[in-house]
Amino acid sequence: MARIVLKFGGTSVGDIERIKNAARKIKAEVARGNEVAVVVSAMSGATNQLVKWVSEVSDLPDPREYDVVVATGEQVTVGLLALVLQQEGVKARSWVSWQIPIRTDGAHAKARIIDIDTTEMARTMTAGEVPIVPGFQGLSPEGRITTLGRGGSDTSAVALAAALKAERCDIYTDVDGVYTTDPRIVEKAQKIDRVTYEEMLEMASQGSKVLQTRSVELAMNHHVRVQVLSSFDAALGSDLPGTLVVDEDEIMAQGLEKSVVSGIAFSKDEAKVTVTHVPDRPGVAAAIFGPLAAANINVDMIVQNVSLDGSSTDITFTVPRADLVRAVQELEQAKADLKFAEVQSDINVAKVSVIGVGMRSHAGVALKMFETLAAKGINIQVISTSEIKISVLVAAEYTELAVRALHTAYDLDAA
Amino acid sequence: MARIVLKFGGTSVGDIERIKNAARKIKAEVARGNEVAVVVSAMSGATNQLVKWVSEVSDLPDPREYDVVVATGEQVTVGLLALVLQQEGVKARSWVSWQIPIRTDGAHAKARIIDIDTTEMARTMTAGEVPIVPGFQGLSPEGRITTLGRGGSDTSAVALAAALKAERCDIYTDVDGVYTTDPRIVEKAQKIDRVTYEEMLEMASQGSKVLQTRSVELAMNHHVRVQVLSSFDAALGSDLPGTLVVDEDEIMAQGLEKSVVSGIAFSKDEAKVTVTHVPDRPGVAAAIFGPLAAANINVDMIVQNVSLDGSSTDITFTVPRADLVRAVQELEQAKADLKFAEVQSDINVAKVSVIGVGMRSHAGVALKMFETLAAKGINIQVISTSEIKISVLVAAEYTELAVRALHTAYDLDAA
């Protein structure tokens, strides 16, 4: 017998039929003799409708009232799912966040969970009842309803799993796991059986919407084993049909063959900015990025080369495409102070990354990437690296070609 | 300065435009220097959708989970209305029932309010904030969400007005007050300025859907002055544009001319049942109505004449049309015990009532009714009377004729 938290996202409870489908998954897990707690999102579309109403009535809504309105979406789902389970003969009851309570800070619309009191809930689970808990929300220190921000339901599920000391947190979604790359681009992409928190974080931060970054961080910090799996998959046979996100130690301890590179990620949401002939003196980088940070523009890859003439240099970096216009404006305004020559920008770029914890102990991973791209005639504009990731910026039109070539080069293609 | 509770029903907050309209009414009331608290229903249609979902997932839903689902409708409205008011520069905040709390008993889906703790709310009102409270719901002794049953929002508003010791409870709806009869039948029907709780109860129990019976009873018991008025009426000029429902004493104290008869009510939702040749012995009435009560069939008018032959009598009564078939079945099953001759039934009947507290002190009110109907050639099938109401059963086809004739006879026609 194990204690498991199951989480169903918006599309997995998108209508009555899908809620019934989720109930079958829960029933099967209970039938295996497990103690099960369930976290659910709002029915897909419900939250959008609520947010739309709020935006129709208020230019700058009071986030406390925003939360009162949007938190209703999950409350509907917990009640309906409890009813379906009861109808199926499974003992179940809904909890709302103030009943548990799920305590958060007071940062409405983007609250953080402080703690979850699972004393009473754990007692009912031991007595054979399945608690159905709303994701995405909590109770502020002032006793008001809070929400965690978009995608917060994954975070709720992981936090509940940590509080319940659950053996696993199963995140049911509309894909059947984490893939070596986007299967829409690379036909031979494979589902990954096990991936580390660190790799998942790198993937999550780069377009892979399978898991929310915040929830992966929380899982990593509390050593919550997370499984990503499909709620539309009929197969109930396999014990672990999805992708398990775990500590590197667990993968090693099981003596599993871990490939050096786990996946190829890419993002087309990039724009490149180059500031030319920046005076090469201490503090100039801070002077450039200060105004961007103040404008809440997130800078990603940054390259500054050594100054050849000893007096000026070029600085290149990327920003999200949506922020490009603002970024250029901020820099132009600072031109008098910074004394650079000009700002060049390009939105026709894409970031392609090779991700894998194995590269920490393997030489030549970067070299293979550069050689592979060169062999296809793809020019690398910018390079940045972390311990477990190498990213390059290339012209956007080469994205698919680069991803496919790298997927093959690192032996990720399915047989 | 007065303290006033305003209540807006589902059609009055049916969409964003109507919520904005309700906010204008509230703002005007605040601008008059009044302390205002607001009770709202769910947006019209919202509760139906929630109930539909529940019925789709469960044959016999757990009422605790039913309440979790359907209570979300009002939570959406309180948040949106608070946002609109803030946008309009009115200090406002939403409360949900567990925050106040509105304590009810544990009879889920048909709970009764036990008490409302208005300590904190009254403090915020004195500080100039408008509390927005969801109607229809509360908190059970077990700490779970309850609902009061359909139409419960009027009851919530009256209960809040009683708890806040408010000067008045204004119920905004889609009609501009209580009329002497249905204006769709009688063109000359007039809006009544003041009506007593007792008269309102008689009207409410007979088709007039303006106020819920429960809320009128509660208002009567706690002496809460209730005004029924239209939320679609542009006029903000008059202080009391609607119909005021109050104690008889208040009407008398103001020396107002009170007509003997306040209104003519009618109901086509009647079916007549006659049980013939019932043995005339003690306990026979109980023997007939026992099975009907057990089957939860509500019996209205009952007539039993004196036995002429000394051994048997006929008993006639009315039931709601929807229950007629079941009523006849119940009686047929009891035929062997009761030893009556046969059960006759007729659905082509209507009940027409003359209502007015003034008839307690005026003779001849009933006579005028009978004479008026006789003059139009309308046969009276059954008569029943209470202290402030005389009801007759007539053939359904005469309903409109009877109502118009009585409206004129009692001097209710508008000039």
Which chain B residue shows the shortest CA-CA distance from A139? B99
Q: Does A55 touch chain B (CB under 8 A)?
A: no
Same domain? A220 vs A95: yes
Q: Are residues A147 and A285 in the same domain?
A: no
Grade residue A208 by pLDDT with cuts at 50, 70 and 90: low
Backbone angles phi, psi at B242, to 5 degrees: -100, -150
CB-based contact (8 Å) between B76 and chain A? yes
Which DSSP string corresponds to B310-321?
Answer: SSEEEEEEEEEG
Classified as helix, coil or strand, A64 is helix
pLDDT band at A252 (very low <50, low <70, confident <90, very high): confident
Phi-psi label, residue B173: left if phi above 0, alpha if psi -120 to 50, beta otherwise: beta
* Number of domains making up chain A: 2
Please name which of B300, B301, B359, B289 lies closest in space to residue B330, comparing C-alpha atoms: B289
pLDDT in tens, A86-131: 999 999 999 999 999 999 999 999 999 999 999 999 999 999 999 9
Nearest residue of A to residue B57, measured between CA atoms? A84
In this structure, are A292 and A179 located in the same domain?
A: no
> Residue A57 and residue B20: Cβ atoms within 8 Å?
yes
**Averaged pLDDT, A323-331:** 94
Interatomic CA distance for residues A310 and A225, integer angstroms: 52
Q: Is residue B415 domain-resident?
A: no
Burial A267-299 (b: 16+ CB within 10 A, else e): bebbbbbbbeebebeeebeebbeebbeeeebeb
Instruction: Give the end of a domain, one of B211, B235, B254.
Output: B254
B193/B326 same-domain check: no
Contact A192, A177 (CB under 8 A): yes
With CA atoms as reference, the chain B residue closest to A89 would be: B58
pLDDT (average), residues B32-36: 95
> Would you state the structure tokens that stand for residue A9, as one six-digit string?
């996202």
B352 & B245 share domain: no
**A81 and A185 both lie in a single domain:** yes
Which residue in chain B has the smallest CA separation from A87?
B58
In whole angstroms, what is the distance from residue A375 CA to residue A352 CA? 16
Which positions 132-191 of B are in contact with A (Cβ < 8 Å)? 143-145
Burial of B59 (0-12, 13-18, 19+ CB in 10 A): exposed
**pLDDT at site A238:** 62
B414 domain-assigned: no
State mean pLDDT over B162-191: 93
Nearest chain A residue to B61, by CA? A83
In B117-241, beta strands by DSSP E:
130-134, 137-139, 145-147, 168-173, 194-196, 226-230
Predicted confidence at residue B224, as pLDDT, reads: 97
Whether the CA torsion A170, A403, A264, A212 is positive or negative: it is negative
**Which segments of A164-274 does DSSP mark as H helices, in order?**
197-204, 213-222, 248-253
Specify whether the CB–CB gap between B273 and B316 falls below 8 A: yes
- Say whether pLDDT at A54 is over 70: yes
Q: Mean pLDDT lowest for which of A63-72, B97-106, B126-135, B358-367?
A: B358-367
A10 and A67 co-located in one domain? yes
- pLDDT value of position A309: 73
Domain of residue A334, CATH code: 3.30.2130.10
pLDDT in tens, A373-396: 999 999 999 998 888 999 999 999
Detail the DSSP E strand segments found in B61-151.
92-94, 102-104, 113-116, 130-134, 137-139, 145-147
Q: Are residues A117 and A193 in the same domain?
A: yes
> What pLDDT, on a 0 to 100 scale, did the predictor assign at position B213?
87
Residue B385: enclosing H or E segment and its boundaries? strand B382-386
Asked whether residue B68 carries a pLDDT value surpassing 70, the answer given is yes
More confident residue, A95 or A235: A95
Distance CA A391, CA A399 (A): 12
Tell me whether B48 touches chain A (CB under 8 Å). Answer: no
Instruction: Decide if pLDDT at B12 tops 60.
Output: yes
CB-CB under 8 Å, B68 with A96: yes
Share of chain A above pLDDT 70, in %: 97
- Among B228, B254, B280, residue at a domain's last position: B254
Q: Using CB atoms, which residue from A58, A66, A76 is nearest to B87?
A: A58
| CB-based contact, B68 to chain A, within 8 Å | yes
DSSP state of B112: -
Residues A2-15 have pLDDT tens digits of 999 999 999 999 99
Strands (E) located in A135-251: 137-139, 145-147, 168-173, 194-196, 226-230, 243-246
Contact (CB<8Å) B19/A57: yes
pLDDT at B200: 93
Contact call for B80 and A19, based on CB within 8 A: no
The one-character DSSP state at B359 is: G
The whole-chain average pLDDT of chain A stands at 92
In-domain check, residue B352: yes
Look at the alpha carbons of B165, B166, B171, B177 in this order and tell me if their dihedral is positive or negative. Answer: positive
Residue B44 CB partners (closer than 8 Å, separation 6+): B9, B10, B11, B13, B14
User: Residue B108: inside a domain, yes or no?
Assistant: yes
Are B317 and B301 a contacting pair, CB within 8 Å? yes
Note down the domain range covering B286. 264-409
Residue A415 lies in a domain: no
Query: Is A234 part of a structural domain of the chain?
Result: yes
Contact B83 A58 (CB under 8 A): yes
Query: If pLDDT is split at 50, 70 and 90, which confidence band does B191 have?
Result: very high
Q: What is the pLDDT of residues B110-169, one digit of tens each?
A: 999 999 999 999 999 999 999 999 999 999 999 999 999 877 999 999 999 999 999 999
**CATH number of the domain that B187 lies in?**
3.40.1160.10
pLDDT of A301 strictly over 60: yes
Q: Is residue A27 part of a domain?
A: yes
Tokens of A413: 């293609």
Instruction: Based on the fold, state whether residues A176 and A35 are members of the same structural domain.
Output: yes
Give the pLDDT confidence of B245-301 residue by residue, as tens digits. Answer: 999 888 887 766 667 899 999 999 899 999 998 888 888 888 889 889 988 898 988
Question: Rounded to an integer, what distance in angstroms lies between the CA atom of residue A216 and that of residue A210?
Answer: 10
- Whose CA is closest to B251, among B171, B347, B357? B357
Alpha carbon distance, N-terminus to C-terminus of chain B: 36
d(CA B350, CA B368) in angstroms, rounded, equals 19
Asked if the C-beta of A38 comes within 8 angstroms of chain B's C-beta atoms, the answer is no
Distance (Å) from the alpha carbon of A179 to chain B's nearest alpha carbon: 35
Res. B233: pLDDT tops 80: no
Cα A194 to Cα A169, A174, A200, A205, A213, distances in angstroms:
14, 18, 10, 18, 17
pLDDT tens figures, A64-94 = 999 999 999 999 999 999 999 999 999 999 9
Cα B369 to chain centroid, rounded: 25
d(CA A310, CA A286): 19
Does a structural domain hold residue A414? no
Supply B316's token pair: 């006639």
Helices (H), A127-274: 152-163, 197-204, 213-222, 248-253
Look at B79 and A69 and tell me if their CB atoms are within 8 Å. yes
Q: What percent of chain A has pLDDT over 90?
A: 73
Domain boundary among B254, B285, B315: B254
What pLDDT band is residue B234 in, cutting at 50, 70 and 90? low
* Cβ separation A80–B69 shorter than 8 A: yes
From A163-172, B5-14, B230-239, the region with the lowest mean pLDDT:
B230-239
Answer yes or no: do A242 and A285 share one domain. no
In this structure, are B50 and B169 located in the same domain?
A: yes
> Is there a contact between B177 and B233 (Cβ–Cβ < 8 Å)?
no
Complex ipTM, two decimals?
A: 0.85
Tell me what pLDDT residue B281 has.
Answer: 80
- Number of Cβ pairs < 8 A linking chain A and chain B: 107
Instruction: Identify the band that residue A63 occupies on the pLDDT scale cut at 50, 70 and 90.
Output: very high
A238 and A174 housed in the same domain: yes
Whether the pTM exceeds 0.95: the reply is no
